[in-house]
Amino acid sequence: MKKLLLPLALLFALLLTGCEEKKPEKVAPVENFKLTEYLGTWYEIARLEHRFERGMEAISATYSMREDGGVKVLNKGYKTEEKEWSEAEGKAYFVKDPDKGFLKVSFFGPFYGSYIVMDTDYETYTMISGPDLSYFWILSRKPTLDETTLKRLLAQAKEAGFDTSKLIYPDQSMNTSRNNDK
């Protein structure tokens, strides 16, 4: 039994550390990152498609502090086919320095993936990369984002190597009406 535990422990350690520092070559995390200003709710403006968001609209992400010093991540979205809201709760931790926008995030137990804040002004928009060029999001503090800012972020994303022609722009009208009710 002990002979089996050591290789499993080593494999587990590799899984935890192996994925958390991956990033696309031309993507750099924000320097002088201010987590407290980043916390709160963001709305998804654009994304590259993934199975975990397929068929979803009105997607938002809310970040708050965890008791252990990490970040609670609560993603919500409306499943159009099922006509129901869905939530996923995860956790995130800084990969190295808390003043760099480079975190590792997990929604599935011990498995973490890169969450790289490429650009943000904290008040209007943020642009996120995952571990490779197939993971990309543009988020906004409001369910909409002005065209000038969006065009600038899209150009920046394309320069970093993301295929912006494959971006999906989810319908945020459900969040727009909910936001106006507040």
We report the CATH number of the domain holding residue 85 as 2.40.128.20
Give the tokens for residue 80.
């159009």
Q: Could you tell me the pLDDT band of residue 160, with boundaries at 50, 70 and 90? A: very high
Question: How many domains in the chain?
Answer: 1
pTM reported for the whole predicted model: 0.85
Residue 42 has pLDDT above 60, yes or no: yes
Residue 91 has pLDDT above 70, yes or no: yes
Residue 94 has pLDDT above 90, yes or no: yes
Within-domain flag for 12: no
155-162 average pLDDT score: 98
Within-domain flag for 176: yes
Within-domain flag for 40: yes
Residue 181 has pLDDT above 80, yes or no: no
CA of 44: how far to CAs of 98, 143, 166, in Å? 24, 7, 15
Within-domain flag for 2: no
Query: How far apart (Å, rounded) are the C-alpha atoms in residues 41 and 149?
Result: 19
Within-domain flag for 80: yes
DSSP, res 155: H
Within-domain flag for 22: no
Burial (CB count <10 Å: 0-12, 13-18, 19+), residue 129: buried
SS3 of residue 63 by DSSP: strand
6-15 average pLDDT score: 36
Residue 13 has pLDDT above 50, yes or no: no
Within-domain flag for 66: yes
Give the tokens for residue 173.
């009208």
Q: What is the pLDDT of residue 110?
A: 84
Q: What is the pLDDT of residue 52?
A: 80
Domain span at residue 99?
A: 27-180
- Closest Cα to residue 56, out of 152, 166, 175, 140? 175
Within-domain flag for 19: no
CA angle 171, 172, 175 (to 5 degrees): 150
